[in-house]
Amino acid sequence: MKKRTSILIISLLVAGSLFAAGRMQEEDCINPRYYQFMVYSLTENLNLTSQQAEKLFPIMRPYREAKRQCHNKMIALSEEVYQQDNINKSHVQYYKNEIRRLHQEGLELDEAFYAKIETFLSPEQVAKAIFFEQHFRSELSRELKKRHHMPNDMPKKKQNYWFNKRNK
């Protein structure tokens, strides 16, 4: 009886972990808290009115999704290159053309998005929107570093005894 119970519990744990791992790999979405903070930051940095926000965010989500898909295609292409054993000049030319095409696709997405937002945002807001992603990521990185940085008054970790003994 104990053996059956043990086997049942172990099989449930293994099945659960495999199911969870599969779900984690399937989901390729942004953390909701990250997205909410980004929306809040974008609204604050661009000084959006409620009417502008109502127009911006519905067109921003498909734009960001298309950019993510383009980025994922580049990642897949990169993985394909590193999995191949023999690469010749024709392969190199193909990869160069694909990267050029994907970069061009990204530029076209940017141009279409900027053209749409220029219709209801001021030139200053459009300029800030163009550089928002880089600004947001650097601010977020700076904030996370500041949060996780140890203050100077915290005691330092003891040095290794053997290291001190050798260097005397």
Give all domains of the chain, ordered by start, each with its CATH number: 31-147 (1.20.120)
Mean of the per-residue pLDDT values for the chain?
80
d(CA 15, CA 5): 15
DSSP string, 113-144: HHHHHTTTS-HHHHHHHHTHHHHHHHHHHHHH
Q: In this structure, which amino acid lies at residue 14?
A: V
| pLDDT attached to residue 27 | 47
Tens-digit pLDDT profile for residues 32-71: 888 888 888 899 999 999 899 999 999 999 999 999 999 9
Task: Report the percentage of the chain scoring pLDDT > 70.
Answer: 71
**Which pLDDT score is estimated for 101?**
97
Q: How confident is the model at residue 151 (pLDDT cuts 50, 70, 90)?
A: low
**How far apart (Å, rounded) are the C-alpha atoms in residues 38 and 56?**
13
pLDDT surpasses 60 at 122? yes
Q: Are 69 and 105 in contact (CB under 8 A)?
A: no
